[in-house]
Amino acid sequence: MEEAERLVKKYFEFVSEKKFMGLKCKKCGAYILPPKSICKKCGSREFEWVEFSGKGSLYTFTVIHVAAKRFLNDAPFVVGVVQLEEGPRITARIVGVDPNKPETIKTGMPLKVTFIESDEKVLLAFEPEK
Amino acid sequence: MMKKVAVIGVGLTKFGKHPKVSSRELFAEAAFKAIEDAGIDLKDVEEAFVGSFLPDVLEHQGHIAPLMLDYIGLTGIPATHTEGACASSGVAVRMGYMAIASGLRDIVLVAGVEKMTDFPTSDVTEALALASDDLFEASEGLTFPGVFALMAKAHMDKYGTTEEQMAAVAVKNHHNALFNPYAQFHKEINIETVLSSRVIAWPLKLFDCSPISDGAAVIILASEDVAKKYTDTPVWIVASAQASDTMALCEREELTTFKAARMAAEQAYKMAGVKPKDIDIAEVHDCFTIAEIIAYEDLGFCEKGEGGKLIEEGETEIGGRIPVNTSGGLKAKGHPVGATGVAQIIEVVHQLRGEAGKRQVDGAEIGLTHNVGGTGATVTVHILRR
């Protein structure tokens, strides 16, 4: 019996290698992140992995002051929803901005992908594009 | 043909801190009050649904429905635990509703319970974050207040909603709670209290957030024939609706609204044959102040984007056009997460029976409850009338 490809597992393997990869629907061409087992646009379950440009803009954000246990040492830090150039949005750390001056962080600002290490893992992050 | 469903008994513990009191004891207090209020015998209960979110994580206790029922001497009947994050007992109400509406049962006990205050805040923060997509959002450091902060910022950007308008929700709900003996807080606050409180997840501050609470809430539901035997003042559940949405916020089309809330509300209004303007009182899910503002819009109490203005103009105060959270809401009544959905029904029942004391809304006939689970991936809406 053929096993389905483990898409979520694969995505995080890419992240751990500091590669920002996503799915592209083979049927309708839609870009998909976070990975899903089905294309919500056309219902296809045939995908290919493509490298995303890593470019996007800040859709909304918050500054976490009271963090969960595993991130206590990181606080305060910025988490944002990033509108990616390819269409999907993704939630990620926003670095290279001042968490103590949220008024200086602007939604719509251009961002590019980077990776940080926290909680003994590689985390997806974005920073302002100069 | 579906049968009519009535609430014939209600029971509530005080919400707040109950040090070293386990959830089974909170449940028992509320359950015996509800059974007494209904005037039924314990053995008349045919089935039970118990909503609770975190008993396994916090109290290290699984399989809680039979455990709760056993503690009040009620083994044998089907006992089912429902989990829908902060809508865990809103979901239980709908299960109980369906059991009776279908004709399968005549008397059902529906409960909500949560024990949260004996544990360190960082543990509770971590536990509540289970209600967000762990792999894609919580693992990036997003907390539960953070989820609503992302929505608050989006609402501020799109509609010009202000931190002062959000603060006004907390001020109103603290005021209402002064007149609710079951509420966790009996303390008036002002806009400045909220604005000067410490930041939890910018732009949300401590007083924008509902507290960590213990509590239990129980209702007894009955079919029409049985209800008439036990009470002259049944309150009818005329709509019970539920909808779902993506867990992750990044996958939502919009971050200024809860699609599942709009879907559940639309179903509920259709089922009850009423419109938003017909609603006399509403208990909405103000886990964070922004959530109440979004609820006004999702439930059709005002136009999209006008929620901030609605609170500012006092329309949702007792005496206003549509009083919201007369109980004090999650913000000031307290938010033992799994108990909230049933507790909202109980406040509406108190109001429709005219038993709400100094917070009574005169002539209230139709009430609505809106219970949001987690990031809004589950929402239940119920409409009740006397």
How large is the ipTM?
Answer: 0.97
How long, in residues, is chain B? Answer: 386
Per-residue pLDDT at A27 exceeds 70? yes
Q: Left, alpha or beta for A21 (phi > 0: left; psi -120 to 50: alpha)?
A: beta
Q: Does B129 touch chain A (CB under 8 A)?
A: yes
Per-residue pLDDT at A3 exceeds 90? no
The answer to whether the CB atoms of A64 and B153 lie below 8 A apart is no
The pLDDT value given to residue B301: 98
Instruction: Count how many Cα atoms sit within 13 Å of the Cα of residue A99 in the half-sphere of its side chain.
Output: 19
Q: Does A91 touch chain B (CB under 8 A)?
A: yes
Give the CA diameter of chain A: 55
Please name the member of B122, B141, B255 whose beta carbon is closest to the beta carbon of A74.
Answer: B141
Confidence band for A130, pLDDT divided at 50, 70 and 90: confident
The answer to whether the CB atoms of B141 and A90 lie below 8 A apart is no
Q: Calculate the average pLDDT of chain B.
A: 97
Q: Left, alpha or beta for B125 (phi > 0: left; psi -120 to 50: alpha)?
A: alpha
Q: What CA–CA distances, in Å, run from B82 to A111, B13, B51, B95, B182?
A: 42, 20, 5, 9, 24
Helix axes B88-101, B340-353, angle to 10 degrees: 60
- Number of H-type helices and E-type strands within chain B: 14, 11
- Chain B residues 294-353 with a CB less than 8 Å from chain A: none
pLDDT tens sequence across A37-90: 999 999 999 999 999 999 999 999 999 999 988 898 999 999 999 999 999 999
Confidence band for A120, pLDDT divided at 50, 70 and 90: confident
The answer to whether the CB atoms of A66 and B129 lie below 8 A apart is no
Residues in A closer than 8 angstroms to B250, CB to CB, are 34, 81-82, 88-91
- Cis-peptide into B323, omega within 30 deg: no
User: Which of the residues of B are catalytic?
Assistant: 86, 335
Share of chain B above pLDDT 70, in %: 100
The pLDDT value given to residue B1: 77
The answer to whether the CB atoms of B122 and A77 lie below 8 A apart is no
The pLDDT value given to residue B153: 98
Pairing of strands B107-114, B47-51: parallel
Please name the member of A34, A80, A124 whose beta carbon is closest to the beta carbon of B248.
Answer: A34
Please name the member of A62, A91, A107 whose beta carbon is closest to the beta carbon of B201.
Answer: A62
- Chain B residues 258-297 with a CB less than 8 Å from chain A: none
As a whole number of Å, the CA-based R_g of chain A is: 16
The answer to whether the CB atoms of B138 and A68 lie below 8 A apart is yes
Answer for the pair B210, B145: CB distance below 8 angstroms, yes or no.
Answer: no
Phi, psi torsion values for B172, nearest 5 degrees: -60, -45
The pLDDT value given to residue B303: 98
Q: Which residue has the tokens 């539920």?
A: B242
How far apart are the C-alpha atoms of B310 and A15, rounded to whole Å? 45
Where helices occur in B102-256 by DSSP H, the ranges are: 121-128, 144-159, 163-177, 191-195, 224-230
The pLDDT value given to residue A1: 64
Per-residue tokens: A114: 């980077």
Residues of chain B with pLDDT under 70: none
Neighbours of B361 (CB within 10 A): 19
The answer to whether the CB atoms of A62 and B150 lie below 8 A apart is yes
The reported pTM is 0.97
Please name the member of B123, B126, B199 whose beta carbon is closest to the beta carbon of A65.
Answer: B199
Q: Which residue has the tokens 């307290």?
A: B334
Q: Residue B144: helix, strand or coil by DSSP?
A: helix
Q: Does B140 touch chain A (CB under 8 A)?
A: yes
Q: Calculate the average pLDDT of chain A.
A: 95
Please name the member of A66, A74, A93 whose beta carbon is closest to the beta carbon of B200.
Answer: A66
Q: List strand residue ranges (DSSP E) for A30-120, in order.
A: 31-32, 47-51, 55-64, 77-84, 89-94, 110-118
Per-residue pLDDT at A119 exceeds 80? no
Q: Does A45 touch chain B (CB under 8 A)?
A: no
Q: Does B197 touch chain A (CB under 8 A)?
A: no
Q: How far is A76 from chain B (nearest CA, A)?
A: 9
Q: Which residue has the tokens 């609505």?
A: B368
Q: Does A12 touch chain B (CB under 8 A)?
A: yes
Residues in A closer than 8 angstroms to B205, CB to CB, are none
